[in-house]
Structure 1
Amino acid sequence: MKKLILGTAALALSAGMGLAQDVVRMGTEGAYPPFNFINDNGQVDGFERELGDKLCEIAQLDCQWVTNEWDSIIPNLVSGNYDTIIAGMSITAERDEVIDFTQAYFPPDPSIYVGMSADIDVNSVVVAAQTGTIQASHVASTGATLVEFPTPDETIAAIRNGEADAALADKGFLEPIVTESGGELVIIGDDVMLGDGIGIGVRESDGALKARFDAAIQTVKEDGTLNGLIAKWFDGMQPKF
């Protein structure tokens, strides 16, 4: 889906020495509902918070949630500021050269263009996208003029204030915004398929931690928990897990 351009407890895990209730810091953006957001109590919330807590319970990990701005989320994983990225991050070959990924916990999510008119030619206008995302890379590969913003909300603001003619982001993020706009915003054209699904990012040295999360993800796929959470947070969406 979205995005482009990862401790003692973490080192113990990567060495295969982790015991039950190891502390693992879960890095997320906190600004991409319904995947992740900050609720009225100032806590990380959303699909990935609920899923992450369940995975930690299965893997016998004590997970602590950390927020980080999107444009530096991979560098700060690599430098050890947290131990995972669970932030709506699409698995791509480019990212996989820098960090490692678990198996996907969310299928490839269509991206969509949104603007104030359905008649816009998105290949020849100004299109907004969040910095460092797969959507930004896609726009850059077309004939459109790309303008990048630090947060997804700013891409919508750019349409409304005239800085951009359209925005490209995950369908799961944009559809509710279009619905709530009361006709001000519309979807332009067909779905755009990008990325290979969403996974948890870990440092390449943390193979044991990756294995624990892979096993936990497989468990929630097989017992139906994952499908239930996706349906809950994404308006009844029924993935093919």
Structure 2
Amino acid sequence: MLRLSIHTILRGTLVASGMGSFLGATSLQVAAQDRTPMRVAVEGAFPPFNYVDVNSKLQGFDIDIANALCEVGKFECQFIIEKWDDMIPNLVGGKYDAIISSMSMSLERRQKVAFTEKYYSSPSVFIVRKDSSINDVSPAALSDKNLGLTSSTVQESFANNLYPEMKKTVFRSSPELYNGLADGSVDVILEDKLAIYDWMANTKAGSCCEFQGPDLLDVTYFGEGAGIALRLDDKERLTRLNEALKSIKADGTYDMINAKYFPFSIQ
């Protein structure tokens, strides 16, 4: 674990010393009062960034970063698993306070929510099966192919605008998208490069496939990296999260989390 919560530390100390429940409750109440509540939305279906493990616990790069930011920024954080399509509307509506779920900071999204500084960067890329004849990913070359995309992503927006005539199959989640490529339901997919790296490098199913074409970095569609989304008027929380992000990058915490998931820097 990256951190041991202050509640766990205090609880363990009080139990070990045999002190009464009154003192324990008082100490925990003081600790909670020192921290700002923050409800954090995550998708839980985007490994290795965020996913639910076999023990029904949230894991992944986003989760570890969120925990580190909550510790340094003195937030009392609660994770809420949310459907990707509902995240921004429900953030704006007040269901939670932040989205820490690998959300690209596109220009379209910036009109609806505020973002922190980026906490990682990743290009998008086309992926095909290794036995595919596709070696050109221009709109003309792919005009008769079936392109797989994940719903409500920057990749879907990019493809709808730059590949308007191409047949498209939209999947509800990234794991379903990957399966669609592996089983031949689609000819090619467009996905975040870091997200699919784990599937391609570390799973038997992913060994079927390879990157095709250049990295796609158009900021109009893909933004300037992944950031934490907040309501537009939540300026104090934005400042505190930016300061916490700067802190975990300076003290080595960020690098430790990075190395846990990737053999290269993703800053």
TM-score bracket for this pair, using the shorter chain length = 0.7 to 0.9
Per the alignment, residue 14 of structure 1 pairs with: none
Per the alignment, residue 192 of structure 2 pairs with: 170
44, 49, 73: which one aligns with 1:35: 49
Letter in 1 for 2:212: I
- State the distance in 2 between where 1:183 and 1:45 align: 23
Question: Per-residue deviation at 1:222?
Answer: 1.7
Question: Per-residue deviation at 1:50?
Answer: 1.0
- State the distance in 1 between where 2:206 and 2:38 align: 42
- State the distance in 2 between where 1:131 and 1:182 align: 21
Per the alignment, residue 224 of structure 1 pairs with: 252
User: 1:192-241 CA distances to partner (integer Å, 9 max, x unpaired)?
Assistant: 2232011100011211111111110011122222122112212x21245x
Q: TM-score, normalised by structure 1?
A: 0.85
Question: Per-residue deviation at 1:37?
Answer: 0.6
Question: Per-residue deviation at 1:93?
Answer: 1.2
Counterpart check, 1:54 vs 2:68 = yes
Per the alignment, residue 147 of structure 2 pairs with: 127
Question: Per-residue deviation at 1:118?
Answer: 5.0
Q: TM-score, normalised by structure 2?
A: 0.77
User: Residues 11-160 of structure 1: matches in 2 within 5 Å?
Assistant: 20-107=34-121, 109-116=122-129, 117=131, 119-120=133-134, 121-122=136-137, 123=139, 124=142, 125-143=145-163, 144-160=166-182
8 Å Cα contact 2:35/2:74 also seen in 1: yes
Per the alignment, residue 191 of structure 1 pairs with: 215
Which of the pair is proportionally richer in helix? 2
Question: Which shifted more, 174-183 or 96-105?
Answer: 174-183
Per the alignment, residue 25 of structure 2 pairs with: none
8 Å Cα contact 2:182/2:208 also seen in 1: no
Letter in 1 for 2:104: S
8 Å Cα contact 1:111/1:135 also seen in 2: yes
Unaligned 5+ runs, structure 2: 1-32
SS at structure 2 position matched to 1:86: strand
Question: Per-residue deviation at 1:159?
Answer: 2.1
Distance change >3 Å, CA 200–CA 183, structure 1 → 2: closer
Unaligned 5+ runs, structure 1: 1-18
SS at structure 1 position matched to 2:225: coil
* Higher RCO (CA < 8 A, seq sep 6+): 1
Q: What is the identity percentage for the equivalent residue pairs of Structure 1 and Structure 2?
A: 31
User: 1:150-207 CA distances to partner (integer Å, 9 max, x unpaired)?
Assistant: 1111112222343311111111121222232364222222222232011100011211
- State the distance in 2 between where 1:66 and 1:30 align: 9
- State the distance in 1 between where 2:116 and 2:255 align: 17
8 Å Cα contact 2:97/2:231 also seen in 1: yes
